[in-house]
């Protein structure tokens, strides 16, 4: 069973979908999509349905400027997206009584998840796919000099760059102190977020961790064989660190 979620962040609506688990569930998986993606990506829907099947809560949502949420993508920043994520986590904590929260993030969503995991003791496990070690490292200097970045005919304003430095610092300085278990996935043919980013994250983490390299996978992972591998391993990871029990079909 799903429910519509509508939250107000800085006077703009953030829209999400709740996959309802058992009434007594104290867990919730929150899914964080990438820069130009949205909550209706196949991997989020499938994971949400799997959680629901086994009685666990899950939320997929659109960051402002994406999908059904209000705002414009050109105005997005990491700080704004973090505010959206905070609002969703607070919703899960207050409305679902979730005190064991897992984050499942892809690309920029994984970057946000790692920053948040170091800040919030409610986050008990995290899974990241194709996540950057440094966002600034991925920005073309030409984009910075011209004052905007354009991806797939979508223009992101210079505010995005200006906001990045403090957030890069938060991630770089916080990785070593993350205490929650982290599972990483990385395609070895990813040209947008090169594989060395995954190695750097993995090497810096001092907590329980695992890195799974997807042979032949690029940044946009849509092949069923990769998605099946990611979703199975992710569900097992959350089961181990959040639910601590055997799952019966």
Q: Which three-class secondary structure string do you get for the chain?
A: CEEEEEEEECCEEEEEEEECCCCCCCEEEEEECCCCCCCCCHHHHHHHHHHHHCCCEEEEECCCCCCCCCCCHHHCCHHHHHHHHHHHHHHHHHHCCCCEEEEEEECHHHHHHHHHHHHCCCEEEEEEECCCCCCHHHCCHHHHHHCEEEECCEEEECHHHHHHHHHHHHHHHHHHHCCCCEEEEEECCCCCCCHHHHHHHHHHCCCCEEEEEECCCCCCCCCHHHHHHHHHHHHHHHHHHHHCCCCCC
**Number of domains making up the chain:** 1
Going by C-alpha positions, the residue among 125, 116, 204, 122 that lies closest to residue 167 is: 116
> Worst-scoring range by mean pLDDT, 8-17, 103-112, 193-202, 234-243?
234-243
Domain membership flag for residue 247: no
* Whole-number percent of the chain with pLDDT over 90: 82
Mean of all residue pLDDT scores within the chain: 93
Domain membership flag for residue 110: yes
Per-residue pLDDT tens digits for 70-80: 999 999 999 99
Does residue 122 contact residue 89 with C-beta atoms inside 8 Å? yes
pLDDT(196) > 60: yes
Domain membership flag for residue 196: yes
* Whole-number percent of the chain with pLDDT over 70: 97
CATH code of 197's domain: 3.40.50.1820
Q: How confident is the model at residue 158 (pLDDT cuts 50, 70, 90)?
A: confident
> Worst-scoring range by mean pLDDT, 114-118, 153-157, 178-182, 206-210?
153-157
Domain membership flag for residue 199: yes
Query: Which has the higher per-residue pLDDT, 154 or 38?
Result: 38
Q: How confident is the model at residue 150 (pLDDT cuts 50, 70, 90)?
A: confident
Going by C-alpha positions, the residue among 96, 42, 131 that lies closest to residue 50 is: 42
Q: How confident is the model at residue 64 (pLDDT cuts 50, 70, 90)?
A: very high
Query: Which has the higher per-residue pLDDT, 128 or 158?
Result: 128
pLDDT at 78: 96
Domain membership flag for residue 45: yes
pLDDT at 245: 54
Average pLDDT for residues 8-31, to the nearest whole number? 96
Domain membership flag for residue 101: yes
Average pLDDT for residues 160-174, to the nearest whole number? 89
pLDDT(144) > 50: yes
pLDDT(28) > 60: yes
pLDDT(147) > 80: no
pLDDT(142) > 50: yes
pLDDT at 248: 45
| pTM: predicted TM-score of the whole model, two decimal places | 0.94
Domain membership flag for residue 249: no
Domain membership flag for residue 246: no
Query: The domain containing residue 209 runs over which residues?
Result: 2-239
pLDDT(1) > 80: yes
pLDDT at 249: 41
């Amino acid at each position: 069973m799903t429910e519509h979620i509508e939250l107000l962040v800085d006077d703009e609506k953030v829209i999400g979908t709740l996959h309802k688990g058992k009434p007594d569930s104290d867990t919730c998986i929150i899914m964080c999509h990438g820069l130009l993606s949205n909550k209706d990506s196949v991997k989020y829907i499938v994971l949400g349905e799997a959680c629901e099947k086994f009685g666990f809560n899950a939320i997929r949502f659109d960051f402002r400027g994406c999908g059904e949420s209000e705002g414009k993508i050109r105005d997005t920043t990491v700080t704004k997206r973090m505010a959206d994520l905070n609002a969703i986590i607070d919703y899960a904590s207050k409305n679902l009584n979730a005190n064991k929260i897992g984050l499942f993030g892809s690309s920029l969503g994984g970057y946000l998840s790692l920053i948040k995991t170091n800040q919030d003791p409610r986050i008990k496990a995290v899974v990241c796919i194709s996540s950057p070690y440094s966002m600034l490292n991925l920005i073309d200097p030409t984009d910075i000099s011209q004052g905007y970045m354009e991806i797939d005919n979508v223009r992101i304003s210079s505010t995005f760059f200006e906001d990045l430095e403090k957030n890069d610092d938060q991630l770089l300085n916080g990785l070593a102190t993350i205490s929650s278990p982290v599972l990483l996935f990385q395609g070895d043919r990813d040209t947008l977020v090169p594989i060395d980013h995954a190695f750097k994250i993995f090497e810096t983490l001092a907590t329980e961790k695992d890195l799974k390299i997807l042979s032949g996978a690029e940044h946009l992972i849509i092949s069923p064989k990769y998605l099946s591998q990611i979703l199975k391993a992710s569900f097992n990871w959350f089961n181990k660190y959040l639910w601590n029990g055997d799952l019966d079909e």
